[in-house]
Chains A and B, each alone.
Chain A
């Protein structure tokens, strides 16, 4: 499993792997928001937690089809399926690799974009914390969506149609935690719910995703 993880990380970091594209998308998104809704700082600081969460979610979505598609096309997914580790583990490792290369950089960069959008002072800790807890769920749910559409020629748009409704609960609790944190209210409940969704996804979705991969490799 560790060789698989390091292989996936190397493939993403080296030339043509697309590392950093998600971050660049996040940057452009955060730049475009003030053009869309106006530069007024009061308005920006009110929408900042939600906008930053949305940006992270969309940046995550963009890189989802890379999780399995290339491996499916060059046949390495078939090799992984016959390897002596269960498909569930392959899926989990690939989701972890996706999170390390997309989710984690977004979490670390979020405070910078928070400054651009005039996020209120107490919000930074909670924004980072809620993203840290929530983005693993985004990666895992996304891996499930990618597993469903891996056999399709042009699955990209379908992938977003399938995955975005599944992102709703994560988004609701994530933005709620970040917003309450920014307004100085108690954040415990949404954070715990968010953690529940993340842990539940990590525990159960590998099975669903592995089942989908097996069907697609038949």
Chain B
């Protein structure tokens, strides 16, 4: 598990967390790999995993009848795929597809949630790291919603 701990410790989201926390988090981690066009998960799947992207790009998609799949965001190296694991009912609201070869660390969400419940200090430290990501995505989404490049009026 030592290699995984090092990889988790180096990921931008976990840089600076103490070694005890890294060990706890890494205890829920595993290496994953996705080929191009392979799905990491589909909407309505149980949100059991959080993916820390180490290499490659993941497209977040929604399917609407008549329009097919629309990509509304892409996640690059250093970012995370999946925030819904934080909140009940722990179900994905969209699809996630690798657009090229993707290597990621998957953290078992249930394992992580249990450890956060047991150790509130770890829980607080992780929430403090995930919350800014949530806020940034919200602000970006708002700007996207304004459709600023559309025809005026």
Q: Do these two chains interact?
A: no
Q: Using a CB–CB distance below 8 Å, which chain B residues touch chain A?
A: none
